[in-house]
Amino acid sequence: YTLQRVSDRGTRETPGPSFDFERDANRVIVRATPDQWKNIQEVIESLDRAVENPLVTEIVSLQWSEAKQVREALGIFYGTYAYAATTPAQRSVSIVADPSTGSLVVSAPEGEWESIRSLISKLDREENDASLQLRSFTLEHADARAVARAINEAFAGELTGRNQRGNQASRGREDLDAPPAVLVEANEWVRASAETETNSVVVAANRNRMDKIAEIVTSLDLAGQESQGGVVEVIRIASSSSVVIADELRRTFNPIAKRRNQSLSIQASVASNAIIVSAPLPLMERIEQTVAALESSAPSDGEAVLIIDLDHVSPQDAQRFLNSVGAAGGQDAAGRNFREPLRISPVPGRNAIVVALNPADRDRVTSLLKALDRENADAAAEVRLVQLQRNRADAIANIVRRVLEPADSSVGTPLGKGLAAQLRALRVHQDGGADQDLDLDLTVPIKVQPDTSSNTVVVTSSRSNVEAIESFIELLDRVPVTPSVSVNVMVLDHIDAGAFSALVRDLASQSSQLSRTPVSGVVGLPADPA
């Protein structure tokens, strides 16, 4: 082989040399011209020298891994045609597998044996055992046939998808000399059989698969399934991650199952991208409907999924509300309510919505929908977000609440008497009095809730009340509200609020003028005390 590689192939008039060998006589037969023979003889003399590092042959027994697979793995680094062999000593190694005894016959230079033994010890470990194993699981509560069917369906989908990906990759592969993508090919075959007399499941799988199957069987064998009519289903996930969907399903349905004292298990199969669910039939139907809704709003990379159950409003109303406050995005960063656009879908057969969103928007969306989904909600109620510029949302919300709902201790005080006298028709006057006054009807429920994540105040009430409270909040946000600053709401008995406001502004303007010296114009006090 070496002589053929280094020899000249010749031309049509003068063919190149040809070679053959006699193994028993350890002899090479050469046919060549005299000129060709001179070069060949020099090559033979350089190769036919005394071996400085003789080969050492040993039989290495394997405990866990299959001999054939370990031999294929070693063949990447050692042997005449090894991809990763970089020295003549590594190329001179010979490895033969003996499957009957589970051992390797290795012939290698003495200097290579330390690295060969080290690599074999790493490959021949219990966790690397790729052979099929048998294990029996005795079930106490779940039906063996249902569990066996779920295991077969889950892992059959995994193998089918892997084979399809392998076929697609092999169709475009032209470089046959490329190293293999898999070092040790494991036996991925999985099969579960039900033993009805003992209510057991017998599983054949490799060690890695067996550990995952044991976890699934334990989670499916829940107490109370017999009396609750529990069923086991495998739900395929097509356009999202089974782990993300399973986490959201557990977050949504575990509290429901706990309140009903029902058994529920939701497990994700990452490799097959499926969800294995054990639940009572009515709950299973709701889970399947929720999965369908989650699939329609499949999150992309970096997105999260949020399922929100609604008590007092419909999913359509909740969807319209989120759209009205900027769910579609499209605003600049300063006026945007959400970091990324939201994708919203109602859950079929259930008063809930599914929202695919940026994880940073989860608390904000939850807070907004809680404000909307209040008890005795009016279908005509409006929700508005008031963005604050100078103050914290919780401080402003507390002031508005104290004005709208004065404490018992304020009864008898001037403020309490004034509020009591105006409960039936309280009016908020616009600046300057040019615009129409805003009516505030305190007989209609008003809900004020701060959203600290975006520093906004969520106001829920009738349209006129929302506009009035929004104007009042903007008025409060003109001055800083801190523990060291006192904010008073004064009810006027005789003078008009607009006239009083104009008088105070005029006094502030005059004080600003008086604070300047006539000649130098140096300001002694802030020009705008407000």
CB 352 within 8 A of CB 360: no
- Residue 370 three-state SS: helix
Give yes or no for a contact between 106 and 112, defined as CB atoms under 8 angstroms apart. no
Beta 200-205 vs 191-195: how paired, if at all?
Answer: antiparallel
What would the two tokens of residue 48 be? 């036919």
Residue 403 domain boundaries: 382-491
Residue 227 has a pLDDT of 56
The residues that bridge with 230 in the sheet, in sequence order, are 280
Q: 283: burial class by Cβ within 10 Å (0-12, 13-18, 19+)? A: buried
Q: Is 160 exposed, middle or buried (0-12, 13-18, 19+ CB in 10 A)?
A: exposed
DSSP 437: P
| Residues of the chain with confidence (pLDDT) below 70 | 1-2, 5-6, 49-52, 127-131, 157-188, 223-229, 271, 297-302, 329-336, 349, 374-381, 405-440, 442, 483-491, 497, 511-530
- pLDDT recorded at residue 306: 82
Would you tell me how many other CB atoms lie within 10 Å of the CB of residue 325? 18
Is the pTM of the predicted complex or chain greater than 0.85? no
Instruction: Please give the structure tokens belonging to residue 520.
Output: 């130098």
Q: Do residues 487 and 397 share a domain?
A: yes
Specify the pLDDT at position 69: 83
- Residue 481 and residue 394 in one domain: yes
- φ/ψ region of 79 (left if φ > 0, alpha if ψ in -120 to 50, else beta) reads left
Please provide the DSSP assignment of 5-41 as one string: HHS--B-SSSBPPEEEEETTTTEEEEE--HHHHHHHH
Specify if 150 maps to a domain. no
In a domain, 62, yes or no: yes
State the pLDDT at residue 172: 45
- Residue 474 domain-assigned? yes
State percent of the chain over pLDDT 90: 4
**What pLDDT does 68 receive?**
87
Residues 6+ apart with CB under 8 A from 297: 305, 343, 344, 345, 354, 355, 356
Residues 391 and 446 occupy one common structural domain: yes
- Pairing type for strands 274-280 and 230-236 reads antiparallel
Specify whether 12 is located in the same domain as 97. no
Domain identity same for 34 and 93:
no
**How many structural domains is the chain composed of?**
3
Query: What pLDDT is attached to residue 106?
Result: 93
- Residue 27's contacts (CB-CB under 8 Å, 6 or more residues apart) are 21
CATH number at residue 59: 3.30.1370.120
Q: Would you say residue 143 lies in a domain? A: no
Q: Are residues 483 and 408 in the same domain?
A: yes
**pLDDT score at 115:** 92
The pLDDT score that the predictor gives to residue 408 is: 47
